[in-house]
Structure 1
């Protein structure tokens, strides 16, 4: 039988990157006590007051069809939120709602690029980005994010990667997996490159509310000169500990949203009105859970650094935001994939190998900051022990 070419383009870009996580879950199902540092699951439940809004909405009959743009109440709430946060008027015609950030990014990229086009993005990158781009037929063009620069994307490096086929500069700030947060000046420099080459500027901002103390979040939407080319995507998955509700959106130029609308109608023709009501409540008020997550994740990043940094040649990169810290394990002589696999077998600790996020993170690990302090300390002690064992064996 014949299949569409998209199935070939995505054949190796799905679950294979999460092999360690899947194996850890199988081990846990067998009763093995695994410490799991793999995925970015919030460490608190979704606030009861938000779930109560969804429940009431269901009981009130908010279970019918919606539309391709989003429920009017949610669209208005998002326009108001972004007008306040970004310091300029964002109209309802600049808002599109989708089931989560992943679906949002898929739809946006389908509207911007096609076969033969190129999308520039940082390497390392979130594990699904390559698949999102290749699904359209376009080609991802990775630009190395250097550890010595704090993994911040360089406008100079981006400019050097541009070709006549480049159509989109794809940003992720705060960044997964590195936790880097682009400054307003850095975004202005990147925006100037996008303007000079007539590129779209797409920004995944799902960790906006999880920025650590002393760090200032900035968005391409902050800069009026980028208004005609900037598109920001976000959701309540991280900020409100609601990943299972799948509620996201994009903010962009009105013309772009008008062109995106038929695609949204073809894909989904609307989300669930009761979830839209819950999301409208969420985005209209400060998150009741984000500040606590910020405090805990920042503290655990320091805890990890205190236990691991300098032990058996390990080096910890402290994030500026988000749910993850990075550990450089190259001194052990193993790749990130080899270290993660052997760590799971020897110490029953599950981590994500850096190779799952791009070539630039080869020999690194990504560790989630979502376990309790005590479990985090125990897991890091096991990682240090495993690294010391590997170094001793290699000596």
Structure 2
């Protein structure tokens, strides 16, 4: 090639995938890096997709999405928020990832500032950079139960701030925002006229009887803010690549125009399958949650029995974020050490921002048996190698 763009040279590579690549050198590696359910997509969803293909739902569809899909999402939010939602306030997207990008494209100009948590989901960075905007990271502390604070957000706002991204339940930290905390954050954003993008892809994975509080349960929030969601985690549909954006109708119409030049349309048969998932009785989602809860205890309780590991109880999503500062090593070095010595692959906390240093992110989307084996390997290695660690 004659030229590389500045973006291609500076685009942040995924440390999650880097660690996964390194892990492939061992035949018996236990992969706890990727945030992907080990469940298969439920048969009734697959059958809906098959039926749609047989019905020749394989042609171009509207940029914004199929009306039946839009209606199914709108109906979901009517029930959730007890307020009106119409199909033209919904756009189908290629997973939540594209939905996030389309929201940014509709809001940001070069030089605008976007507030994100630190630690954060790393894919936000590249999207912001690609639009010429600036990332401003808001520190999140273990002492606050890994919850972003409204006062820290307010302290980071400048006249250039146009967008705030929040993620609850949270990846990588496993924390959730309560109704009160969400309302405090929304009040700060509205005070300074900052748009919120609420990434709610883990909404169905919350423990100990806690219920998800969506940004759109705040009256009037949909007029100026956006919710992005996905079917990937809730219904084990990662490879289907289907999600959605919910927001005001004018913004959704503008995003559909961007879609024309990005991917034209989410395949209609995939939207049909996703709509069927939304219209179901959600019993499969409840079964998944029970399994994740058992897995949570295997990892969190197991790690807390290992000297040197200190892990808060995961509130939502399927990640543990243990503190490993007692070992006196960088999270990158310690993750590599554990990979080489135990063949358990985890992601260094530094992959999620500077505030992630001193932590590891562990996905417990694997089976209980696999997770138990991982804990036992780590426990044996640490007890033998660090006998005096506290």
State the TM-score, normalizing by the size of structure 1.
0.94
| Cα drift, residue 389 of structure 1 | 4.1
- CA displacement, residues 312-361 of structure 1 (integer Å, 9 cap, x when unaligned): 22101211111111111110111111111111111111111111111111
Query: Matches of 2:306 and 2:191 in 1, distance apart?
Result: 46
Structure 1 residue aligned with 2:14: 15
1:218 lines up with 2:238 in the alignment: no
State the TM-score, normalizing by the size of structure 2.
0.96
- CA displacement, residues 359-378 of structure 1 (integer Å, 9 cap, x when unaligned): 11111111111222222122
Query: Matches of 2:75 and 2:202 in 1, distance apart?
Result: 19
| Cα drift, residue 219 of structure 1 | 1.4
Q: Of 286, 291, 297, which aligns to 2:292?
A: 297
Query: Matches of 2:378 and 2:386 in 1, distance apart?
Result: 12
How many residue pairs align between the two structures? 389
1:337 lines up with 2:332 in the alignment: yes
| Cα drift, residue 292 of structure 1 | 2.0
Structure 1 residue aligned with 2:176: 181
Structure 2 residue aligned with 1:124: 119
Summarize the alignment of residues 97-112 of structure 1 with structure 2, pairs less than 5 Å apart. Answer: 97-112=92-107
Structure 2 residue aligned with 1:306: 301
| Cα drift, residue 26 of structure 1 | 4.1
Paired residue secondary structure (2:158): coil
Summarize the alignment of residues 139-178 of structure 1 with structure 2, pairs less than 5 Å apart. Answer: 139-178=134-173
Query: Matches of 2:87 and 2:302 in 1, distance apart?
Result: 49
Task: Name stretches of at least 5 consecutive residues in structure 2 with no aligned partner.
Answer: none
| Cα drift, residue 260 of structure 1 | 1.5
Query: Matches of 2:373 and 2:230 in 1, distance apart?
Result: 32
Paired residue secondary structure (2:24): helix
Query: Matches of 2:274 and 2:388 in 1, distance apart?
Result: 53
Query: Matches of 2:60 and 2:294 in 1, distance apart?
Result: 44
| Cα drift, residue 286 of structure 1 | 3.6
Question: Closer, same or farther in 2 for the Cα pair 1:288/1:245, shift >3 Å?
Answer: farther
| Cα drift, residue 270 of structure 1 | 0.8
1:115 lines up with 2:127 in the alignment: no
Query: Matches of 2:244 and 2:3 in 1, distance apart?
Result: 35
Query: Matches of 1:84 and 1:251 in 2, distance apart?
Result: 14
Task: Name stretches of at least 5 consecutive residues in structure 1 with no aligned partner.
Answer: none
Structure 1 residue aligned with 2:352: 357
Paired residue secondary structure (2:245): strand
1:77 lines up with 2:78 in the alignment: no
Query: Matches of 2:78 and 2:245 in 1, distance apart?
Result: 14
Query: Matches of 1:226 and 1:15 in 2, distance apart?
Result: 32
| Cα drift, residue 149 of structure 1 | 1.1
Across the aligned residues of Structure 1 and Structure 2, the Cα RMSD in angstroms comes to 1.7
Equivalent pair of 2:116/2:135 in contact (CA under 8 Å): yes
Question: Closer, same or farther in 2 for the Cα pair 1:62/1:225, shift >3 Å?
Answer: closer
| Cα drift, residue 263 of structure 1 | 0.6
Query: Matches of 2:279 and 2:389 in 1, distance apart?
Result: 56
Query: Matches of 1:263 and 1:306 in 2, distance apart?
Result: 46
